Amino acid sequence: EPEVTQTPSHQVTQMGQEVILRCVPISNHLYFYWYRQILGQKVEFLVSFYNNEISEKSEIFDDQFSVERPDGSNFTLKIRSTKLEDSAMYFCASSAPSHTDTQYFGPGTRLTVL
């Protein structure tokens, strides 16, 4: 069964450094998403992406964040200058264009900012 994959599974970085989190969505999906979950808190939406542009973003997704689909298979989330409060699990999801838009999530990347 096709699934969303994410790399790395765990990323440790120093405050102020740039990180890139990578995702490979399900191959025939056209909509891509990033969510995050700070330890012990809810899963929060960051951004959705379709047709090479952002379709929706939350207030969390500020100028420090960017997304890109650099090729036909990868979808990336870049955090330009990490802060301690960026430490969280980051989940990528994808969905196919359909009337129900079921989103399928990857296993997540645990980002630890020191």
Partner 1 sequence: DAKTTQPPSMDCAEGRAANLPCNHSTISGNEYVYWYRQIHSQGPQYIIHGLKNNETNEMASLIITEDRKSSTLILPHATLRDTAVYYCIVRASNTGNQFYFGTGTSLTVIP
Q: Which is nearer to partner 1, 3 or 18 (CB)?
A: 3
Q: Which of 4, 67, 79, 113 binds partner 1 (CB under 8 A)?
A: 4
Cα separations in angstroms, 71 against 29, 35, 47, 107 = 14, 21, 19, 21
Which structure tokens are listed for 67?
Answer: 């997304």
By CB under 8 A, is residue 7 in contact with partner 1?
no
Residue type, 47: V
Which structure tokens are listed for 90?
Answer: 């980051």
25 φψ region: left (φ > 0), alpha (ψ -120 to 50), beta (else): beta
Contacts of 99 by beta carbon, 8 Å cutoff, 6+ apart: none
Q: Which of 37, 64, 66, 76 binds partner 1 (CB under 8 A)?
A: 37
By CB under 8 A, is residue 105 in contact with partner 1?
yes
Number of residues that bind partner 1 (CB under 8 A): 32
By CB under 8 A, is residue 69 in contact with partner 1?
no
Positions touching partner 1 (CB under 8 A) are: 4, 31, 33, 35, 37, 39, 42-45, 48, 50, 55-56, 58, 89, 91, 93, 95, 97-108, 110
